[in-house]
């Protein structure tokens, strides 16, 4: 299954941990399936070393990807050739990135770029829990814990209340004591969130805002403050990884939130895994990898799992974040039973006409029957890297741009490299993702059909 991923120049991408498994999962990710793994050195080296993977992706968070392309202040990481994000750059961030601020460039316009936001997959945000040892769900659905039913339009509000602090104990999520199932579980909920600027958080807060039945938490303003979605207003912050309400020896105010000691969805999952009575969120692939799929033979046989949520419809039913088929949520599921519970019919509002337009307002259209936190994930790429990195040798950039284009073509399934039609999209369920719906896929492929290529309008005399 080798693709045209050859050469002597490594390209490095950085960004969303949400898409990390899609790029780099052993045996299931795009990098290995496109034939870009050539050795055991799964890391980024400069210069390229024999045995390095020809493509390397750092899943360190959407914020890190945006910063790597200069979205915050125009200063670009000179070693990053594509980025990943689930929280697309705003027009201001795109302007910063395109203008550039390379301090070694004498010509102030000599490193201007043309940035493209390219949708590459659908994924879901799973709500993950570590149920208190003394508690159990009050009701079940197909051997899965069931949330309380709150009526059309507010059925997932208990999750929103848990993260806003309005739902203070596990009783608000429908849990009772194991020792006395008539008694509510009064154990406090410990809330675990990302500590870094995150596209996963962006998608999750969009969901929280849509299901806030009393509209008393301004999740959107919360997310947009300083273009930094690490803000959770009204919450103390426990940042040392212990989630005990004490941050480095200092008590924090209730209701408090916890972060892990590092960035990315894996750190949230690790913190929830080790914290009894906690709730958090993660992309599905990371949640499964970290053991949150259901392993018990009965509803009481496991206490770390992801929750079902109600589909957004007039008569909602519980939907699993994993693709709807028998036992797709169990750790013993076969590869065919994996995949995110989004599909070709999943609708998104505010899809722009092309990859040069603003994708930041795109949001899942709340209509069923699908899981209610589906989200698009994106790759950011330059139209002409020769304009963007004026100090990098011409021949090196030419090879790197060709490699980036071939990789995008493989991901989107335009099949110029002979690995099978739609290969990059069809393998996505193997990593707990879903292929793009038709409209975003069409927009993404338009990037390639209008792509004018390397050195379309050189700003410098090339050293060939």
Higher pLDDT, 2 or 458: 458
pLDDT of 102 > 90? The answer is no
pLDDT of 172 > 70? The answer is yes
Q: What are phi and psi of 82, to 5 degrees?
A: -150, 160
Which of the residue ranges 119-123, 333-337, 429-433 would you say has the lowest mean pLDDT? 333-337
Would you state the pLDDT for residue 358?
A: 95
Would you state the pLDDT for residue 225?
A: 43
Query: pLDDT of 78-91, one tens digit each?
Result: 889 999 998 899 99
Q: How far apart are CA 243 and CA 19, in angstroms?
A: 27
Would you state the pLDDT for residue 38?
A: 65
Would you state the pLDDT for residue 436?
A: 94
Query: pLDDT of 239-282, one tens digit each?
Result: 988 899 999 899 998 889 999 888 889 999 999 999 999 999 99
Structure tokens at 260: 């892990």
pLDDT of 2 > 70? The answer is no
Mean pLDDT of the chain: 83
Would you state the pLDDT for residue 115?
A: 93
Cβ-proximal residues to 328 (8 Å cutoff; 6+ apart), any chain? 320, 322, 337, 338, 339
Query: pLDDT of 377-433, one tens digit each?
Result: 999 999 888 878 888 888 888 888 888 888 898 899 865 444 445 578 988 988 899
Q: How far apart are CA 342 and CA 323, in angstroms?
A: 7
**Average pLDDT of the segment spanning 307-314:** 80
User: What are the chain's domains?
Assistant: 11-121+350-357+376-449 (3.40.190.10), 123-349 (3.40.190.10)
Q: How far apart are CA 297 and CA 386, in angstroms?
A: 57
Structure tokens at 148: 């309380």
Structure tokens at 366: 């709340």
Q: How far apart are CA 343 and CA 358, in angstroms?
A: 24
pLDDT of 371 > 70? The answer is yes
**Average pLDDT of the segment spanning 131-143:** 87
pLDDT of 42 > 70? The answer is no
Percent of the chain at pLDDT > 70 equals 82
Which of the residue ranges 83-87, 90-94, 194-198, 329-333 would you say has the lowest mean pLDDT? 329-333
* Predicted TM-score (pTM) of this structure: 0.87
Would you state the pLDDT for residue 380?
A: 95
Query: pLDDT of 280-301, one tens digit each?
Result: 999 999 999 999 988 777 767 7
Structure tokens at 362: 């795109």
């Amino acid at each position: 299954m080798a693709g045209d991923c050859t050469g002597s120049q490594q390209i490095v991408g950085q960004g969303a941990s949400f898409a990390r498994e899609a790029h780099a999962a052993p045996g299931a990710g795009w990098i290995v399936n496109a034939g870009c793994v050539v050795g055991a050195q799964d890391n980024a080296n400069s210069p390229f070393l024999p045995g390095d993977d020809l493509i390397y992706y750092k899943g360190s968070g959407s914020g890190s990807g945006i910063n790597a392309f200069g979205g915050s202040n125009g200063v670009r990481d000179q070693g990053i050739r594509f980025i990943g994000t689930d929280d697309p750059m705003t027009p201001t961030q795109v302007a910063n990135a395109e203008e550039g601020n390379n301090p070694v460039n004498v010509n102030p316009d000599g490193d201007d770029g043309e940035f493209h936001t390219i949708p590459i997959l659908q994924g879901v945000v799973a709500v993950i829990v570590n149920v208190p040892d003394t508690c159990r769900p009050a009701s079940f659905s197909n051997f899965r814990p069931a949330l309380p039913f709150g009526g059309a339009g507010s059925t997932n509000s208990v999750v929103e209340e848990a993260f806003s602090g309005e739902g203070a104990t596990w009783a608000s999520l429908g849990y009772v004591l194991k020792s006395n199932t008539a008694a509510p579980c009064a154990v406090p909920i410990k809330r675990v969130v990302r500590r870094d600027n995150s596209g996963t958080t962006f998608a999750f807060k969009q969901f929280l805002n849509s299901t806030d039945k009393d509209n008393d938490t301004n999740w959107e303003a919360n997310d947009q403050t300083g273009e930094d979605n690490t803000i959770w207003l009204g919450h103390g912050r426990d940042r040392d990884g212990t989630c005990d309400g004490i941050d480095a020896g200092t008590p924090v105010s209730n209701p408090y939130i916890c972060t892990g000691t590092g960035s990315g969805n894996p750190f949230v999952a690790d913190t929830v895994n080790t914290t009894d009575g906690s709730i958090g969120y993660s992309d599905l692939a990371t949640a499964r990898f970290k053991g949150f799929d259901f392993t018990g033979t009965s509803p009481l046989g496991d206490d770390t799992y992801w929750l079902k949520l109600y589909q957004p419809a007039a008569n909602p039913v519980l939907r699993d974040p994993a693709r709807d088929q028998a036992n797709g949520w169990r750790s013993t599921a076969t590869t065919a039973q994996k995949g995110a519970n989004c599909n070709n019919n999943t609708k998104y509002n505010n899809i722009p006409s092309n990859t040069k337009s603003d994708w930041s307002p795109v949001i899942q259209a709340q209509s069923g029957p699908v899981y209610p936190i589906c989200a698009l994930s994106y790759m950011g790429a330059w139209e002409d890297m020769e304009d963007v990195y004026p100090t990098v040798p011409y021949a090196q950039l030419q090879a790197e741009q060709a490699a980036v284009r071939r990789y995008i073509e493989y991901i989107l399934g335009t099949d110029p490299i002979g690995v099978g039609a739609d290969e990059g999209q069809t393998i996505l369920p193997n990593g707990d993702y879903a292929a793009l719906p038709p409209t975003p896929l069409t927009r993404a492929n338009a990037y390639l059909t209008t792509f004018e290529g390397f050195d379309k309008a050189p700003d410098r005399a090339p050293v060939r």
